Every structure is written in C-alpha cells, then in structure tokens.
C-alpha cells in the first residue's frame, strides 16, 4: 500500500511534467467540466469527434477517453474508429459506459466498443459496469447487485473475462484486474451532487494511464487523487455550486507529496 501511495504522488508529478494530451470523445453535458479538470491536473485536453479526424488526433494523444453519455450514430462510429486506431498504436483507452444497462442502445454500444477495441480500463458505477456481463452471466444475479461491495466478486470475474481493468466508483471505489483488488476510501458525498464527477474520474484516469503503464496503479492513483480533491473541496463549499469550483481548485493545488500522504487504500 505504501508503494501504491508513493506511486500515486509520483504519477501526479509525471502528469505535471509531461502534460500528456488526452483525446476525449465524450458527452455534451460534461465536456467543459472535463476539459477544465484535465487542465487543472496538468494534462492537455482535446475534444474531437469528427470521423475524418479522430484517427489523426488520437495519434498525438497519450490516452483516449470514450464516454457514451450522449450518443448518436455518428459519434458511435467515431468512438469505434478512434478506439481501433488507439489499439493499433498501443495507446491506453478508458471507457465510461454511462447509462449502460439503462437503454439497449447504451448497453450495445458499450459492448461494441469493448469488442472492437483494446479497452484498458472501464470506469462506471456498479450497475453500469456489471451490465457489461454477457447475457448468460447477467441472469446469474446482476440485477441484485447494488453496492460496490457486493460487486467485488462479480467484478473480478468480469475483469478476467474482458481482459481489462475495472473501476467501480461509489462511496468506496473498487479497482480490479481480476487478480489484484484495491479499494479507495477517499471521497465526499457532494461529489454525487455535481454532474460529471464520474466522467471527470474517467478522463483523469486517462491522464494517469498516459504516464503509468500499469492500469491498476494508474486508476488507483487517479481515483485517490479525485477523492482527495473532493474532500478538500467540501471544506470550502456551501453547496454543489461552490463545491464544483473548489474541486477544480483542489485538482490544481494538491501536490504529489500531499497525494501520497493522504490517499487511503485497502488491498485485499
């Protein structure tokens, strides 16, 4: 754990030095907040979704972030196209399956992206992530899973099945690649009162993946960092409006040393 905590700070330092370009194909609702979060962390965001340019753009990027929060046909094609190019170039891909499980379009799109590209990390809430199980598996109990804790065993099996790292966020975050399991205890309830904090977690995970070749370590660093920023922001907030502002300030001002010292992890 001490190693992971130290690595989190080291990774944050690497982002601030390397300023990796993060290519986002994400939803309309959170584009501004996501871009500002990446800038605050020290990364360099770019949003580009035209089929004609996504391959060219992703070639410059340190990581690709795919978020299905607001979908339509053209955007789905661009996500797959960018994802295939990123896979070919061995660049990390992080997928946010927003609303997967809620509508068939979203579930199908998330699965298509997973099948057609080499997704490195999937980050979502428990329902979203567990909706990615195959139909057969689904009948074995997905619908009864609500809390992150209950999802741990299922997530390990799913991570192995998909050959990817899963990050299920909630009051406690869970990260697993099927063999390692890490829980992140940082965070604050106000994070759930601001739209896009989950999407920001996905995008910032992209920034950490751009500097750390170990997916589990990168996601743990990212989620610990974001949870700590939430804790800091809550100290100065009178509600969700001022919380969101203070959250960006915290992403900007938390130092690598502070992150290593204050990240709270549980290995199992």
Min separation Cβ 224 and a copy of itself, Å? 19
Q: What is the 3-state secondary structure (H, E, C) of the chain?
A: CHHHHHHHHHHHHHHHHHCCEEEEECCCCCHHHHHHHHHHHCCEEEECCCCCCHHHHHCCCCEEEEECCCCCHHHHHHHHHHHHHHHHCCCCEEEECCCECCEHHHHHHHHHHHHHCCCCEEEECHHHHHCCCCHHHHCCCHHHCCCHHHHHHHHHHHHHHHCCEEEECCCCEEEECCCCEEEECCCCHHHHHCCCHHHHHHHHHHHHHCCCCCHHHHHHHHHHHHHHHHHHHHHCCCCHHHHHHHHHHHHHHCCHHHHHHHCCEEEC
Task: Choose among 106, 81, 134: nearest CA to 27.
Answer: 106
Interface with a copy of itself, residue 33, by CB under 8 A:
yes
Structure tokens at 201: 């977690």
**Candidates 1-9, 42-50, 83-91, 163-171; binding stretch for a copy of itself (CB under 8 A):** 42-50
**Candidates 8-16, 135-143, 171-179, 241-249; binding stretch for a copy of itself (CB under 8 A):** 241-249
Interface with a copy of itself, residue 161, by CB under 8 A:
no
Interface with a copy of itself, residue 239, by CB under 8 A:
yes
Interface with a copy of itself, residue 246, by CB under 8 A:
yes
Q: Can you tell me the distance from the alpha carbon of 56 to that of 69, in angstroms, rounded to the nearest whole number?
A: 23
Interface with a copy of itself, residue 57, by CB under 8 A:
yes
Interface with a copy of itself, residue 56, by CB under 8 A:
yes
Separation of CA 98 from chain center: 11
Min separation Cβ 165 and a copy of itself, Å? 27
The correct pick among 15, 22, 61, 71 for binding a copy of itself (CB under 8 A) is 71
The correct pick among 52, 90, 135, 136 for binding a copy of itself (CB under 8 A) is 52
Nearest CB to a copy of itself, comparing residues 120 and 202: 202
φ/ψ of residue 67, rounded to 5: -135, 120
Min separation Cβ 41 and a copy of itself, Å? 10
The correct pick among 48, 137, 152, 172 for binding a copy of itself (CB under 8 A) is 48
Min separation Cβ 16 and a copy of itself, Å? 12
Min separation Cβ 147 and a copy of itself, Å? 18
Q: Can you tell me the distance from the alpha carbon of 39 to that of 111, in angstroms, rounded to the nearest whole number?
A: 30
Interface with a copy of itself, residue 82, by CB under 8 A:
no
Interface with a copy of itself, residue 103, by CB under 8 A:
yes
Interface with a copy of itself, residue 18, by CB under 8 A:
no
Nearest CB to a copy of itself, comparing residues 172 and 245: 245
Residues forming the site for a copy of itself (CB under 8 A): 27-33, 35-36, 39-40, 45-50, 52-53, 56-57, 60, 69-74, 99, 102-106, 193-196, 237-242, 244-253
């Amino acid at each position: 754990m001490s190693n992971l905590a130290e690595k989190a700070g080291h990774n944050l330092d690497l982002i601030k030095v390397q300023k990796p370009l993060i290519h986002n194909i994400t939803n309309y609702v959170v584009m501004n907040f996501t871009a500002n979060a990446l800038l605050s962390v020290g990364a360099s965001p770019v949003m580009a979704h035209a089929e004609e340019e996504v391959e060219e753009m992703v070639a410059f990027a340190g990581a690709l972030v795919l978020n299905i929060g607001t979908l339509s046909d053209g955007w789905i094609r661009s996500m797959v196209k960018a994802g295939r190019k990123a896979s070919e170039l061995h660049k990390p891909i992080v997928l946010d399956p927003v609303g997967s499980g809620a509508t068939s379009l979203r579930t199908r799109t998330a699965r298509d992206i997973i099948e057609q590209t080499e997704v490195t990390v999937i980050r979502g809430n428990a329902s979203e992530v567990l909706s990615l199980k195959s139909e057969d598996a689904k009948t074995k109990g997905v619908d009864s899973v609500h809390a992150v804790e209950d999802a741990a065993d299922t997530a390990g099996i799913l991570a192995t099945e998909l050959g990817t790292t899963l990050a299920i966020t909630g009051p406690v975050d869970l990260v697993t690649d099927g063999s390692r399991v890490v829980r992140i205890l940082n965070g604050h309830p106000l994070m759930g009162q601001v739209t896009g904090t989950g999407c920001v977690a996905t995008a910032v995970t992209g920034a950490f993946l751009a500097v750390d070749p170990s997916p589990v370590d990168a996601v743990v660093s990212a989620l610990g960092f974001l949870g700590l920023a939430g804790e800091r922001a809550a100290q100065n907030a009178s509600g969700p409006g001022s919380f969101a502002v203070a959250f960006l300030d915290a992403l900007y001002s938390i130092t690598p040393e502070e992150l290593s010292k204050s990240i709270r992890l549980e290995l199992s």
